[in-house]
Structure 1
Amino acid sequence: MNNNNEIEKELIRWNKKLRIYPFDASNYIRRGMTYFKLGRLIESLRDYNKAEELNPQLTPYLWQRGLSYYYLGKYAQGARQFEIDLSVNSQDVEETIWNFLCIAQLEGIKEARESLLPVKYDPRPVMRKIYQLFAGHYSPENLLALEKTNSTRDNLYIHLYLGLFYEAHRGEIPMLEVGKTISSNIEKSRFHINEAIKYKVDDYMWYLARVHQQLRQPKVES
């Protein structure tokens, strides 16, 4: 698994490539992803925008930009990006959930669930269960029970999306969680993100979990 030093070396390689091929949109996307791994969100967004400028046909494929929008607090732009993405990839649960997450930040859980876009079929069984969680048809407890039998990557996704689920519900008491306090949802979100990071795989979403942790950890009073 890459550490920060290795990611910095990766960034140096993309910088060199872009000096040689300054009009290659794909290189900007790759460098943007590297910036994101390092938590440099503004730089990542700048690179995704540059890639789109060089090749406007990439717009519905820039899911990475949607994630940068989310963590920069640009939820309306994020929701729009994921909505456009789903026009070419209607079977991806993750695009749908991130659209949900952006809308939840803007308008609340009720509105997000009402606008949850249908998914015809995602080939990943764990993502189909995660979709049902966000749709309100599956409990966090049932999803967590799958951790005992799933792969490392699936367990990463279980905890990551539970963390995001609780973050979305931080201002409300979720379905099937009657009696829990609002503050417990924040704590549960942090717990599951921390658990997700323990399942190290070479997956962009593992880096996202790490960025999420860095951005959402409690501020220490000086």
Structure 2
Amino acid sequence: MNSPNTAHVFGNTVSRIRDRPISVPILSRRPLLPSVSGIWDALTGGNDARQEALAAVRRGMMLFREGDVSGSVAEFDKAIELDPRQKAYLWQRGLSLYYLDRFEEGAEQFRLDVAQNPNDTEESIWCFLCEAQLYGVDEARRRFLEVGRDPRPVMREAYNMFKDGGDPEKLVAAFSSSQESEYFYASLYAGLYYESQSKTDAAKVHLLAASQSPYGQRSGDYMASLAKVHCLCRNWSSI
């Protein structure tokens, strides 16, 4: 899904998101039956509403990259008002809700998305991160959303660490000499794991490492922007 939309964040041109193109599906990844979709479009204004919703999603993503987390949620919510079918697929909204400490809504968002896309490792992890803040790590792990096998080795290891417990330092060490993207993701999720354990100092080390890594600095990946936003929200600028 190629998208004509590009935006700048921290001096980088955004072209891909978590190894997926920027374009955000307005309809389900499992498309509605034409008859149902046609009825919905007739009731809601059809293509105009879809295009306005897509524009709102792109604005929300741009605002998040710029550090305006509240503004991003407002745009994502506007997109849902324009096209309610979109709610189950707005993982970007879930990320923003986490940084606003709206953990219950964030967990709901990620659970909705995993219900539609049962192979999304990262959304399963982010649901855990929200629920760890609500219920504690043990209960969040009991409620853990199991998903299909991620093709990325680093995300398979990260998923197992969050699901079963593990050592974030071993995760980072295992990918320290790998591709730049793998080191970035290992550092990002090591830091997030420590945050779920309320180990702020260790979380800071790894999240700053992720945001300051070559991939974090140069990539157009939405999660590279997230690492920067995380440090901005926590007022972290150096180790």
Question: How would you bin the TM-score normalised by the shorter chain?
Answer: 0.7 to 0.9
Is the CA contact 2:9–2:66 (under 8 Å) kept in the aligned structure 1? no
Matched residues in 2 for 1:137 and 1:107: separation?
16
Task: Report the CA distance shift for 1:148/1:42 in structure 2 as closer, same or farther (over 3 A).
Answer: closer
C-alpha distance after superposition, 1:21-41 (max 9, x if no partner):
785211110110000011111
Shift of 1:149: 3.2
Matched residues in 2 for 1:65 and 1:148: separation?
30
Matched residues in 2 for 1:52 and 1:64: separation?
12
C-alpha distance after superposition, 1:181-204 (max 9, x if no partner):
xxxx21110000110012222111
Matched residues in 1 for 2:9 and 2:71: separation?
19
Shift of 1:215: 1.1
Q: TM-score, normalised by structure 1?
A: 0.81
Matching of residues 137-156 of structure 1 within 5 Å = 137-156=165-184
Task: Report the CA distance shift for 1:53/1:31 in structure 2 as closer, same or farther (over 3 A).
Answer: same
- 2:228 is equivalent to residue 210 of structure 1: yes
Task: Report the CA distance shift for 1:160/1:5 in structure 2 as closer, same or farther (over 3 A).
Answer: closer
Partner of 1:190: 204
Shift of 1:72: 0.5
Shift of 1:138: 3.6
Q: TM-score, normalised by structure 2?
A: 0.75
Larger mean Cα displacement after TM superposition, 136-145 or 33-42: 136-145
Matched residues in 1 for 2:11 and 2:150: separation?
35
Is the CA contact 1:129–1:138 (under 8 Å) kept in the aligned structure 2? no
- 2:120 is equivalent to residue 92 of structure 1: yes
Partner of 1:148, secondary structure, is coil
- 2:71 is equivalent to residue 40 of structure 1: no
Provide structure 1 residue ranges, at least 5 long, that are not aligned to the other structure. 8-20, 171-184
Provide structure 2 residue ranges, at least 5 long, that are not aligned to the other structure. 1-6, 14-47
Matched residues in 2 for 1:76 and 1:195: separation?
29
Partner of 1:123, secondary structure, is coil
Q: Give the counterpart letter for 2:224 in structure 1.
A: W
Q: Which has the higher contact order (CA 8 A, sep 6+)?
A: 2
Task: Report the CA distance shift for 1:34/1:206 in structure 2 as closer, same or farther (over 3 A).
Answer: same
In angstroms, what is the RMSD of aligned CA positions?
Answer: 2.1
